[in-house]
Chain A
């Protein structure tokens, strides 16, 4: 049992984090950071990595003229260098009421917290910056990006202290986020995405407009996929006051068909937009999901 000071360790699975840190996380494209780092920046300048020559134009500092090139070509050429920077990542965690769902494999909110903390650890561990945003129908809590290891504890504490109670408005929240975080950052969205799909992807597209890299981590309980329940069941709506009486074996086929259509729709939309989509079944280890994803990502983006 962690002491109050160590409460944030609740969502830290040290073994999994260690394994994931070893794998690392590289952004898929160019990122705009504030610090010098290991990742390619869209900006060019006069640093270490030579990028090429360009024609001298009036106003350029003459000290950047490449006289060797002038001797060979007789033209005034200026040396160009690539800028390398760190990246900022955001853990966008859904803390709406549907994330309270649990059946046999724990709450989805806890599963999401484990994922967010683990990813934050990995990012901070490689000197990149990470922040977090907890949302339901609005931004519930915002943790600024930081390269400090304290940010992990802050994210964990924030998740521990959050009590899901509202419906999700993920589309609006993602649009708000886009206005706050600038450009070319990595955004991990951890949610069950039970809000309106069209609205969800409106927010996603807004983030893509700012050249952010987006990763959708879709949390689903197995019973939500397979509905392996029999007999009479009373279903109480989590984000409302609705009640349904169903007989498990009678409704299963119809429900599963609709739910799979929904999952297929989300993954297809993500694929169309070129963003990563990870379906995380809560009956399986989150470490396994993340390891597979990071491994796949490493292969894909080098």
Chain B
């Protein structure tokens, strides 16, 4: 058995003297009596002597075991049967590690995980950092304190990492023959999404007896998988008082193309330039950004790409997929006069994200082509900056379309009043009545709103936890501008259909809205709200069989609970290493929760209709479940979650708890002994 803190273990063993001292102390405090009935006492003692000796021995043993437990607890024993492994700990410090996770960054999280891993590891550890090459920071050593200090010095790099840099770096590691285990702490955004083969190659080259453990610091999905690979300052250096051109190599590591990706250059925290790039999968592009250097002294330049700027709490987890494929028609203005992608890029991407082309039949037309289309063939018509005025021929078509059960979404950066008027609907109640959110119903911070800017600047839009805000009548304001009288998004029913008008446009190039993970949910929610009353399948996170319960443990009891509180026990299946919860198809549409004991650990909706759509979409536990998601890899590779390397700490806590209990028992026994012994 090895100890993480052998000195403390020795100290604890030194405590073994305590029970001996206690015994001596108790023995000194005795009553002396001249005894007449000595003969009978001798007989009694002879009769009991053997039993008393055993009892005394057991007592002393229990006390010694108690101290031993303390010594073990202090020493933090490694209870693994296998011998201590020599671990190479690779910490990713590529630029993508600067992505924020709430208050901290991925780098902060990686450092914390590294420290915990070092504390929990049972053998010598060497540390290396990874960007475009592997940099050894220390030789194998067991001094946890020194390793912890070393970890604290790891700072983000400006050079991006690749799968090749990891493989080459590890294989060229000077002490590779000594490495018995490779642990990689990374966001795995750059290397591994879509490239698990690279990891398999590394694992196979290391051999089966040298496992590779991955510790993901951010397992969110659906994010733009783009990173800054390299940046170059002007060859002549930065000069004050003029524009300095900085080149940034941005690469798309993901499997999907990204469009109009905003790359922002900030100087001393102030955004100075932004460029939009389109990146096919796997490709990299040089972006030219300029920085105006006005100040004296050192300046801090920072390059950021989404989703760095979005806190994790903004992630909404509502996924909408129709039961049958839906036909959506996008109407795009021809003369928008901009280069770059079409204005429906956000919407299209959103549809891809929440259902894909299998679920959504999406096509676009120009406004002048709208007359040739039969609206009856579509479920939803989306207007992107296309004006609808009273008297237009397509205005009447749209009105008829909505009245017959269709859904219409109109993005317009002007007043939405014109659209409503063209559709023959009154909006006086909208302009006159400011829709106020029902905070009592929504709870704290659970409604969407615009940033508190006096201007309606689309690139300042942040979608916080999304909730509907219901006003009087049939008006439903989905977004609300603080301090303004114009509701931003208004939904009205007309006949059997519904229309939504958004008072802003999703202009590519003017907003990084798309790269905000929330916009996917936002667009999905617009479709959800504008569809007719047909049931649509709603899952949170992913598909029903793939629902992941965070911290799934065979020892716990799980149940499927419906809104009425009826519980149906669930069985945990799978292997001990990969337990899976067998979730049956819910008996009816509704909102369900998977409970562990009485505590809900996962909520989801099944086959609910739009009228039931008041979903808690940003429940904290769902965010937790996402954090627990693991990336699947091939080869001799395992995912090491925080809970797994924290088990040894739990063992110590158990020992400490056992010690405290035993100590209480022994102290009580001795106190009782002392008090009773004092009674003469």
Interface residues of A (CB under 8 A from B): 98-101, 103, 108, 192, 194, 221, 224, 229-240, 242, 244-251, 254-255, 257-259, 262
Given known pairs A255-B41, A258-B40, the reply for A247 and B33 (CB within 8 Å) is no
Alpha-carbon gap, A58 to B45, bound state (A): 73
Q: Which residues of B contact A246 (CB under 8 A)?
A: 41, 45
Cross-chain contact B30 with A232 (CB below 8 angstroms): yes
Cross-chain contact A236 with B32 (CB below 8 angstroms): yes
Cross-chain contact A234 with B30 (CB below 8 angstroms): yes
- Which of these, B32, B41, B55, contacts A250 with CB under 8 Å? B55
Interface centre among B32, B37, B47 (most CB of A within 10 A): B37
Given known pairs A231-B29, A232-B29, A250-B55, the reply for A101 and B35 (CB within 8 Å) is yes
What are 21 contact pairs spanning A and B, CB under 8 A?
A100-B36, A101-B34, A101-B36, A231-B29, A231-B31, A231-B676, A231-B678, A231-B679, A232-B26, A232-B27, A232-B29, A233-B31, A234-B30, A235-B33, A238-B36, A242-B38, A244-B41, A251-B48, A255-B40, A255-B44, A258-B43
From residue B232, how far is it (CB to closest CB) to chain A in Å? Answer: 85
From residue B474, how far is it (CB to closest CB) to chain A in Å? Answer: 84
Alpha-carbon gap, A251 to B33, bound state (A): 15
Alpha-carbon gap, A185 to B608, bound state (A): 113
6 nearest A-B residue pairs (beta carbon): A231-B677, A232-B30, A101-B36, A230-B676, A255-B44, A98-B36
B429 an interface residue at 8 Å Cβ cutoff? no
Cross-chain contact B31 with A254 (CB below 8 angstroms): no
Alpha-carbon gap, A248 to B33, bound state (A): 12
Given known pairs A232-B29, A244-B41, A259-B40, the reply for A237 and B35 (CB within 8 Å) is yes
B42 an interface residue at 8 Å Cβ cutoff? yes
A-B contact count (CB 8 A): 102
Given contacts A232-B26, A246-B41, 16 further A-B contacts (CB under 8 A): A98-B36, A100-B34, A192-B36, A231-B31, A231-B678, A232-B31, A233-B31, A234-B31, A235-B34, A236-B35, A238-B34, A239-B36, A246-B45, A254-B47, A255-B40, A257-B44
Q: Which residues of A contact B38 (CB under 8 A)?
A: 235, 237-240, 242, 244
B578 an interface residue at 8 Å Cβ cutoff? no
B83 an interface residue at 8 Å Cβ cutoff? no
> Which residues 659-676 of B sit at the A interface, judged by CB distance below 8 A?
673-674, 676
Given known pairs A242-B38, A250-B55, the reply for A234 and B33 (CB within 8 Å) is yes
Alpha-carbon gap, A224 to B34, bound state (A): 12
B302 an interface residue at 8 Å Cβ cutoff? no
- Which of these, A229, A250, A262, contacts B48 with CB under 8 Å? A250
From residue B40, how far is it (CB to closest CB) to chain A in Å? Answer: 5
Interface centre among A230, A242, A245, A257 (most CB of B within 10 A): A230
Interface residues of B (CB under 8 A from A): 26-27, 29-45, 47-48, 52, 55, 673-674, 676-680
Cross-chain contact A232 with B37 (CB below 8 angstroms): no
Given known pairs A235-B38, A236-B35, A238-B38, the reply for A250 and B30 (CB within 8 Å) is no
From residue B44, how far is it (CB to closest CB) to chain A in Å? Answer: 4
Q: Which residues of B contact A259 (CB under 8 A)?
A: 37, 40
- Which of these, B32, B36, B52, contacts A247 with CB under 8 Å? B52
Alpha-carbon gap, A244 to B47, bound state (A): 14
From residue A81, how far is it (CB to closest CB) to chain B in Å? Answer: 51
Cross-chain contact A233 with B33 (CB below 8 angstroms): yes
Cross-chain contact A231 with B30 (CB below 8 angstroms): yes
Cross-chain contact B45 with A244 (CB below 8 angstroms): yes
Majority SS at the chain A contact face: mixed
Residue of A nearest to B27 (CB): A232
Cross-chain contact B55 with A236 (CB below 8 angstroms): no
From residue A75, how far is it (CB to closest CB) to chain B in Å? Answer: 66
Cross-chain contact A224 with B36 (CB below 8 angstroms): yes
- Which of these, B42, B673, B677, contacts A242 with CB under 8 Å? B42
From residue A301, how far is it (CB to closest CB) to chain B in Å? Answer: 33
Cross-chain contact A258 with B29 (CB below 8 angstroms): no
Q: Which residues of B contact A262 (CB under 8 A)?
A: 40
Cross-chain contact B52 with A250 (CB below 8 angstroms): yes
Cross-chain contact B44 with A251 (CB below 8 angstroms): yes
Residue of B nearest to A195 (CB): B39
Cross-chain contact B35 with A230 (CB below 8 angstroms): no
Alpha-carbon gap, A108 to B47, bound state (A): 28
Given known pairs A231-B673, A244-B38, A255-B41, the reply for A236 and B47 (CB within 8 Å) is no
Cross-chain contact B676 with A238 (CB below 8 angstroms): no
Cross-chain contact B40 with A236 (CB below 8 angstroms): no
Alpha-carbon gap, A259 to B41, bound state (A): 8
From residue A99, how far is it (CB to closest CB) to chain B in Å? Answer: 8
Residue of B nearest to A240 (CB): B38
Cross-chain contact B36 with A229 (CB below 8 angstroms): no
From residue A240, how far is it (CB to closest CB) to chain B in Å? Answer: 7
From residue A108, how far is it (CB to closest CB) to chain B in Å? Answer: 8
Residue of B nearest to A192 (CB): B36
From residue B21, how far is it (CB to closest CB) to chain A in Å? Answer: 15
From residue A218, how far is it (CB to closest CB) to chain B in Å? Answer: 12
Q: Which residues of B contact A231 (CB under 8 A)?
A: 26, 29-31, 673-674, 676-679
Cross-chain contact B677 with A232 (CB below 8 angstroms): yes
Interface centre among B30, B44, B52 (most CB of A within 10 A): B44
Residue of A nearest to B31 (CB): A233
Cross-chain contact B41 with A251 (CB below 8 angstroms): yes
Alpha-carbon gap, A246 to B37, bound state (A): 14
Residue of B nearest to A250 (CB): B52
Cross-chain contact B44 with A258 (CB below 8 angstroms): yes
- Which of these, B29, B36, B48, B673, contacts A254 with CB under 8 Å? B48
Residue of B nearest to A225 (CB): B37
Alpha-carbon gap, A255 to B31, bound state (A): 17
From residue A243, how far is it (CB to closest CB) to chain B in Å? Answer: 9
Cross-chain contact A238 with B35 (CB below 8 angstroms): yes
Alpha-carbon gap, A259 to B37, bound state (A): 8
Q: Which residues of A contact B680 (CB under 8 A)?
A: 229
Q: Which residues of B contact A108 (CB under 8 A)?
A: 36
Alpha-carbon gap, A236 to B45, bound state (A): 14
Alpha-carbon gap, A254 to B51, bound state (A): 11
From residue B56, how far is it (CB to closest CB) to chain A in Å? Answer: 9
Alpha-carbon gap, A192 to B674, bound state (A): 32
Q: Which residues of A contact B678 (CB under 8 A)?
A: 231
Cross-chain contact A229 with B31 (CB below 8 angstroms): yes
Residue of A nearest to B35 (CB): A235
Q: Which residues of A contact B29 (CB under 8 A)?
A: 231-232
- Which of these, A100, A194, A254, contacts B37 with CB under 8 Å? A194
From residue A242, how far is it (CB to closest CB) to chain B in Å? Answer: 6
Alpha-carbon gap, A244 to B30, bound state (A): 12
Residue of B nearest to A98 (CB): B36
Alpha-carbon gap, A254 to B676, bound state (A): 19
Interface centre among B33, B35, B38, B40 (most CB of A within 10 A): B35
From residue A47, how far is it (CB to closest CB) to chain B in Å? Answer: 49
Residue of A nearest to B674 (CB): A231
Alpha-carbon gap, A79 to B676, bound state (A): 76
Q: Which residues of A contact B26 (CB under 8 A)?
A: 231-232
Cross-chain contact B679 with A230 (CB below 8 angstroms): yes
Alpha-carbon gap, A276 to B573, bound state (A): 84
Cross-chain contact A254 with B677 (CB below 8 angstroms): no
Alpha-carbon gap, A237 to B38, bound state (A): 6
Given known pairs A231-B673, A242-B42, A246-B41, the reply for A103 and B31 (CB within 8 Å) is no
Residue of A nearest to B46 (CB): A254
Q: Which residues of A contact B30 (CB under 8 A)?
A: 231-234, 245
From residue A156, how far is it (CB to closest CB) to chain B in Å? Answer: 23
From residue B55, how far is it (CB to closest CB) to chain A in Å? Answer: 7
Q: Which residues of B contact A233 (CB under 8 A)?
A: 30-33
Alpha-carbon gap, A24 to B526, bound state (A): 117
Interface centre among A192, A194, A232, A239 (most CB of B within 10 A): A232
Alpha-carbon gap, A263 to B41, bound state (A): 14
Cross-chain contact B36 with A249 (CB below 8 angstroms): no
Alpha-carbon gap, A238 to B29, bound state (A): 22
Alpha-carbon gap, A65 to B156, bound state (A): 147
Q: Which residues of A contact B40 (CB under 8 A)?
A: 255, 258-259, 262
Alpha-carbon gap, A194 to B39, bound state (A): 8
Alpha-carbon gap, A251 to B52, bound state (A): 9
